[in-house]
Amino acid sequence: MYKILLKRQLTPDIVLMHVEAPRVARSAQPGQFVIVRVDEQGERVPLTIADYDAQEGWVAIVIQTVGVSTRKLCDREAGDEIADFVGPLGRPSDFVSEPLESLRKQRFLFVAGGVGTAPVYPQVKWLYERGVAADVIVGAKNAATLILVDEMRAVAGRLFLATDDGSAGYKGLVTGLLQELVEQKGQHYDRVIAIGPMIMMKFVAAATRTYGIPTVVSLNSLMVDGTGMCGACRVTVGGRTRFTCVDGPEFDGHEVDFDEAMRRQGMYRTLEERARKIEEERAAGHRCRIGLDR
């Protein structure tokens, strides 16, 4: 069992947790993920690592309530325990293995959308701790749905906010802000890393292709089993079939078949909706039984 050391509500449907997992914390690297199971009957949920502390022995995860399993996890409180916390899994971000001298000569831009801000944070932090400054764009629907802004500001070279309604920072999509930085303000970037909704990453990659900027995206939202055995996270990258949880979750954004990935993601929504309805029916049945007992 793994103890929840801290729980923080970031938005009404997004929760941050620190989980006591010393072995995972000692081995974790930016870009990797863990598999979480709330209880013995729980579903395996892949979650990208949002932070970690090897000395204190905890790993941070950020959970958005989108279905039955994530709702159960978000209902847990600090002091509670969860059944399984397996990892780190997946390949670390490519820059982790590159020479620092090379990294310090490059200009990085991270583009984070919504809950995708969580896996971006440990990457920017890792670079910051090694003297590599990175610019960061964080986008959300409005100011209330922006997450980890203070944490990101502490490690980013420059932080730019974008909201659909203009309630914080730039008014519009992250792609519009990216375009403004490159075309109007003349900013040069050697590498872009985008993590967020699939449609956002698709259009970020389309924009950076026109600028000739190498771009990495994370397809963590496709993962189901997390071991490569179920095959649900298949995606075409550069004309080849790859498995997100084993070969990724990060890939060359200019080679990902985003349309295929979004179709596959749509199938998960249908299955999750069925699971939600079953859970609601079970809960309703339980309430009925209680009423009859009375």
3-state SS record for the chain: CEEEEEEEEEECCEEEEEEECHHHHHHCCCCCEEEEECCCCCCCEEEEEEEEECCCCEEEEEEECCCHHHHHHHHCCCCCEECEEEEEECCCCHHHHCCHHHHCCCCEEEEEEHHHHHHHHHHHHHHHCCCCCEEEEEEECCHHHCCCHHHHHHHCCEEEEEECCCCCCEECCHHHHHHHHHHHCCCCCCEEEEECCHHHHHHHHHHHHHHCCCEEEECHHHCCCCCCCCCCCEEEECCEEEEHHHHCCEEECCCECHHHHHHHHHHHHHHHHHHHHHHHHHHHHHHHHHHHHC
Give CA separation, 60 vs 11, 18, 272, in Å. Answer: 16, 4, 25
pLDDT for 67 equals: 79
Please give the span between the terminal C-alpha atoms of the chain, in angstroms, as a whole number: 36
pLDDT for 246 equals: 74
Domains of the chain and any CATH numbers: 2-89 (2.40.30.10), 94-218 (3.40.50.80)
pLDDT for 181 equals: 95
Nearest to 35 by CA among 215, 200, 227, 205: 227
pLDDT for 6 equals: 96
Q: Which residue has the tokens 């298949």?
A: 234
pLDDT of the chain, 294 residues: tens digit per residue: 899 999 999 999 999 999 999 999 999 999 999 999 888 877 888 899 999 999 999 999 999 988 788 888 899 999 999 999 988 998 899 999 999 999 999 999 999 999 999 999 999 999 999 999 899 999 999 999 999 999 999 999 999 999 999 999 999 999 999 999 999 999 999 999 999 999 999 999 999 999 999 999 988 777 666 565 666 777 888 888 887 777 768 888 999 888 888 887 776 554 445 444 444 444 444 444 444 454
